[in-house]
A = this chain, B = another copy of it.
């Protein structure tokens, strides 16, 4: 638990709360609760009671859904400005879990305040609606890729999704996230061995390189080209879901 940042002076420019009126931003500043979750900690425990929604101020999160055989699937990756934890209308418990992939600053807002904010800030509601609409499009693209791709292509798609969500470090061209092979496998729906095999293939082609868990992207264009037949032009520039202005 930390000092509560005032929304107006929050460094995260992608937060949809910025679309609320100044009065409502004050109100939300008072009502929300900022918590710093250490790496690896659950932000949302699967099947726990829904109390509200989470806004990532700064951090990296994976949204997971496990089956009763113990296998865990990562259904979404989220970063600064993303919302996690669909509001609990029609659901009493969260159907998904969320795990911090790094130390993350995350604001919690209770259902009641959030609902009232929606009713009085149409621009805010609109932005959140568009966020869901974009995430739906991305999820449908993922579902299509899982359904049609072979293993190697799935791993490539996973890399592009990771780049899209977390970005690439300027200095060494490595993806801004450290995940185990098994965690990458959980994102793309395969197993750790297949991820290793795909990496070996891509390293042989000098498209990527790996130093432990850091993945360096040597040739982005070639990486995209390998799965380009599955993508629309708009999919290659998805560059993370952000809250942009309407046209």
Contact = CB atoms under 8 A, between A and B. Distances in A.
Interface of A: 47, 63, 65, 67-69, 71, 73, 75-76, 86-91, 93, 95-96, 111, 115, 118-120, 122-123, 125-126, 128-130, 132-137, 139-144, 146-148, 188-190, 228-230, 232, 234-235, 244, 246-247
A93 B148 contact: no
29 contacts: A47-B232, A67-B144, A68-B228, A73-B147, A73-B148, A75-B140, A75-B143, A76-B140, A86-B137, A87-B130, A89-B246, A90-B130, A90-B244, A91-B234, A93-B234, A95-B141, A118-B125, A119-B122, A120-B122, A122-B122, A122-B125, A125-B125, A129-B129, A129-B132, A132-B132, A132-B136, A139-B140, A142-B143, A147-B188
B229 A148 contact: no
Given A76-B140, A132-B136, A137-B95, A148 B246 contact: no
How many copies altogether?
2
A34 B146 CA distance: 36
Which of the listed residues A68, A71, A111, A232 has the most CB atoms from chain B within 10 Å of its own CB? A232
A208 to B, nearest CB: 22
A73 B143 CA distance: 9
A165 to B, nearest CB: 15
A96 B140 contact: yes
A188 B11 CA distance: 43
A146 B234 contact: no
Contacts of A146: 143, 146-147, 189
A71 B148 contact: yes
A135 B135 CA distance: 10
Nearest to A185: B147
Contacts of A128: 129
A244 B118 CA distance: 16
Contacts of A141: 65, 95
A81 to B, nearest CB: 15
